[in-house]
Amino acid sequence: MSIILGLLSLIVSIALPVIIMVFTDFQVIHFSLFFIVPVGAIAVGYVCGFGFFKGLFLSHKKIKGAHFFIGVLMAIICLVSIKYATYYLTCFDEQTQDIVYTLDGDHISNYEIDGYGTMTFFNYNKYLIENTPITFSRRSRTLAEVSNPTFGWIIAIIDYLGIIAGCLLSGSSIKGKSEYCDTCNKYKKSKKIFKIPKANGKAFFDELETLVKDMNMDVFLEEIIQKHVSKGEKLDEYYECHLVYCESCRTASFKFKLFERTSKNKIEENSSFNYNIKVNYDLVRSYIDQNVA
């Protein structure tokens, strides 16, 4: 499955930027934010690797370092393919003196440029990097325009690394969604079941640790939810409980995430908080099946 989905996402990541370029003259992989963040390249790389890593996840294959190396190779193939497809479609219109992208025209390889020679694939791309003006703008207002070989290579390298970063990012995001059960060689399932106010956290966790092995765990959970959470209450800062379980080896645990208000007055997850506790699979799964849609 990973091979099929990987090939599909690779094809899409190549075809889509080329199609956009043909119809709009806009090169996605060179779109950046704040002048140096290669947003377009990262997006293309993410699409490139998504199918491969998603296929591994759906096939319950543990995502390892070797798979990320394959992701790097896919990103390089994607980049070279986009560049070659662009070169293949690049023609020179003698009447308008413009570069056009078409399958029927006077191909750029029929021309020479001083200092670069015949416009082969490598010479043409080198010429573009070293001579294409780079425009810096903000809110549709041009701030500056730079055409410098050294600067052009720096921007090009940033864009190329952006595709690789985007591909690896897709793998990291998919891998980070679920824990892996090494006993069953499967990804565990996860289900959000309840939230509790941050202010009630200490009391809640104390009760949980004391009663977690109680044979009436399902009853206890119902009681503790009613005790610490008011239904319909909009929480400001809170703990979010996820049930993480493996159906094959019948193991389960609670994984809590902490969401707090930041200095920018936004509620975000506190990545430094980590609290997991093992629970009885049968009792907890029974509670989930009965009470969570």
Overall average pLDDT of the 68-96 stretch: 91
Structure confidence at residue 205 (pLDDT): 87
Asked if pLDDT for residue 69 goes beyond 60, the answer is yes
Structure confidence at residue 152 (pLDDT): 82
Which one-letter amino acid corresponds to residue 195?
A: K
Asked if pLDDT for residue 213 goes beyond 50, the answer is yes
Overall average pLDDT of the 180-203 stretch: 88
Poorest-pLDDT segment among 26-40, 107-121, 260-274? 26-40
Poorest-pLDDT segment among 3-17, 22-36, 147-161, 221-235? 221-235
Percent helix, strand, coil in the chain, to 5, is 50, 25, 25
Of residues 121 and 221, more confidently modeled: 121
Q: Which tokens belong to 45?
A: 């790389």
Please work out, in degrees rounded to the nearest 5, the angle formed at the alpha carbon of residue 163 by the alpha carbons of 161 and 169: 100
Contact 239, 208 (CB under 8 A): no
The pairing of strands 251-261 and 267-269 is: antiparallel
Is the dihedral angle over the CA atoms 87, 92, 97, 100 positive or is it negative? Answer: negative
The count of other CB atoms within 10 Å of the CB of residue 202 is 9
Contact 5, 55 (CB under 8 A): yes
Structure confidence at residue 229 (pLDDT): 73
Asked if pLDDT for residue 147 goes beyond 80, the answer is no
Q: What is the mean pLDDT of the chain?
A: 84
DSSP assignment of 35-49 equals TTB-HHHHHHHHHHH
The count of other CB atoms within 10 Å of the CB of residue 235 is 16
Band of residue 281 on the pLDDT scale cut at 50, 70, 90: confident
